[in-house]
Structure 1
Amino acid sequence: MRGRCRTARGPRAGAWSGRSSTAVRLGAVAVVLATTAAVGPGVAAAAEEVSATPVPYAFADGARSIEGARSTADATPLEPGTTYRSSLPGSGKVSYSLQLDSVSNAYVSVTAVPSPGSTVSVIDGLEVSVQDAEGNSCSFDSVPFGAARSPHPIAAWGMREISPTKPLCRNAGAYYVTVERADPEGEGSSPDPWDLEILAMTEPRTERAAATGAPEAWNSATPQPLQGTAERRRGGAGFTGATPLDEGVWRDGIRPGQTLFYAVPVDWGQQLAVTADLGSIESGATGYTSGALDLDLYNPARGHVAEVNVGYDGDQNSGSLPPLAPVDHANRNAAGGQVSAMRFAGSYYLAAHLAESVADTFGEGPFNLTLRVRVSGEPEGGPVYAGESVPRGAFEVSDQEREAAAEGVPVTGDDTAMRVVAVGGIGTGSALLVGLGVWTVLARRRGVA
Structure 2
Amino acid sequence: MAAPSASLPVSASASAPTPPPYAFAEDATTVQGATGTADAVRLEPGRTYKSAIKKNAELYYVLDLDDTSDAYVSATAVPRPGATVAFSDGVKVSLQDANGRTCHGAGLAHVGATQSPHPIAASTAREIVPGGSGLCQAAGTYYLIVERTGSPGSSGDGADWDLELRPATEPRLKKAEATSAPEVWDSASPEALSGNGVERRGGTGFTTATPLPQGIWTTGVSPGQTLFYRVPVDWGQQLYATADLSSSSSGKGFVGTALVMSLYNPVRGLVDDTGSGYNGRQQSAALQPLPPVDYANRHAVNDRVSGMRFAGSYYLVVHLAGQVAERFGDGPFGLTLRVRVAGTAKNPPAYEGRTQPRDLFDATAVDPGRVAGGSGGDGLTGGIAGAVGDGGTGAGSGGDTTMKLVAAAGIGTGTFLVLTLGVWTALARRRHVPDPGLANAAHTAHTATALPAPRGHRAARRR
CA separation in 2, counterparts of 1:341 and 1:222?
Answer: 19
Alignment of 1:401-412 (within 5 A): none
Alignment of 1:334-349 (within 5 A): 334-349=300-315
Displacement of 1:90? 1.2
Counterpart residue number, 2:268: 302
Query: After alignment, is 436-445 or 85-94 more displaced?
Result: 436-445
Counterpart residue number, 1:110: 75
Q: Secondary structure at the match of 1:107?
A: strand
Counterpart residue number, 1:419: 394
- 1:356 aligns to 2:331 (yes or no): no
Q: 2:157 aligns with which of 169, 172, 190?
A: 190
Decide whether aligned partners of structure 1 residues 438 and 55 sit closer, same or farther in structure 2, where only a CA change above 3 A counts: farther
Q: 1:101 aligns with which of 34, 57, 66?
A: 66
Size of the aligned set, in residue pairs, is: 387
8 Å contact kept, 2:246–2:281: yes
Alignment of 1:29-108 (within 5 A): 54-108=19-73
Displacement of 1:381? 1.1
Q: Secondary structure at the match of 1:388?
A: coil
| Backbone CA RMSD of aligned residues | 2.8
Alignment of 1:221-370 (within 5 A): 221-283=188-250, 285-370=251-336
8 Å contact kept, 1:265–1:405: no
**Could you report, residue by residue, the CA deviation over 1:260-318 in whole angstroms, capped at 9, with x for unpaired residues?**
100000000000010000001222x1111111111111000011111011111111100
The residue type paired with residue 250 of structure 1 is W
CA separation in 2, counterparts of 1:320 and 1:406?
Answer: 27
**Could you report, residue by residue, the CA deviation over 1:16-61 in whole angstroms, capped at 9, with x for unpaired residues?**
xxxxxxxxxxxxxxxxxxxxxxxxxxxxxxxxxxxx9631301110
CA separation in 2, counterparts of 1:343 and 1:438?
Answer: 37
The residue type paired with residue 442 of structure 1 is V
Q: 1:133 aligns with which of 98, 117, 133?
A: 98
Displacement of 1:227? 1.9
CA separation in 1, counterparts of 2:309 and 2:91?
Answer: 22
Q: Secondary structure at the match of 1:419?
A: coil
Counterpart residue number, 2:130: 164
Query: After alignment, is 262-271 or 319-328 more displaced?
Result: 319-328
Displacement of 1:398? 2.2
- 1:119 aligns to 2:78 (yes or no): no
Displacement of 1:339? 0.7
Q: 1:442 aligns with which of 414, 423, 435?
A: 423
CA separation in 1, counterparts of 2:305 and 2:420?
Answer: 38
8 Å contact kept, 1:112–1:155: yes
Identical amino acids, percent of aligned pairs: 49
8 Å contact kept, 1:59–1:240: yes
Decide whether aligned partners of structure 1 residues 67 and 57 sit closer, same or farther in structure 2, where only a CA change above 3 A counts: same
CA separation in 1, counterparts of 2:162 and 2:390?
Answer: 28
The residue type paired with residue 319 of structure 2 is H
Decide whether aligned partners of structure 1 residues 394 and 142 sit closer, same or farther in structure 2, where only a CA change above 3 A counts: same
**Could you report, residue by residue, the CA deviation over 1:319-339 in whole angstroms, capped at 9, with x for unpaired residues?**
101211110000000011111
Decide whether aligned partners of structure 1 residues 175 and 198 sit closer, same or farther in structure 2, where only a CA change above 3 A counts: same
For structure 1, the 5+ residue unaligned runs are: 1-51, 423-427
8 Å contact kept, 2:368–2:392: no
8 Å contact kept, 2:18–2:81: no
Displacement of 1:216? 1.3
The residue type paired with residue 331 of structure 2 is G
Decide whether aligned partners of structure 1 residues 221 and 82 sit closer, same or farther in structure 2, where only a CA change above 3 A counts: same
Q: Secondary structure at the match of 2:423?
A: helix
- 1:386 aligns to 2:348 (yes or no): no
The residue type paired with residue 68 of structure 1 is G
For structure 2, the 5+ residue unaligned runs are: 1-16, 398-403, 429-463
Q: Secondary structure at the match of 1:147?
A: helix
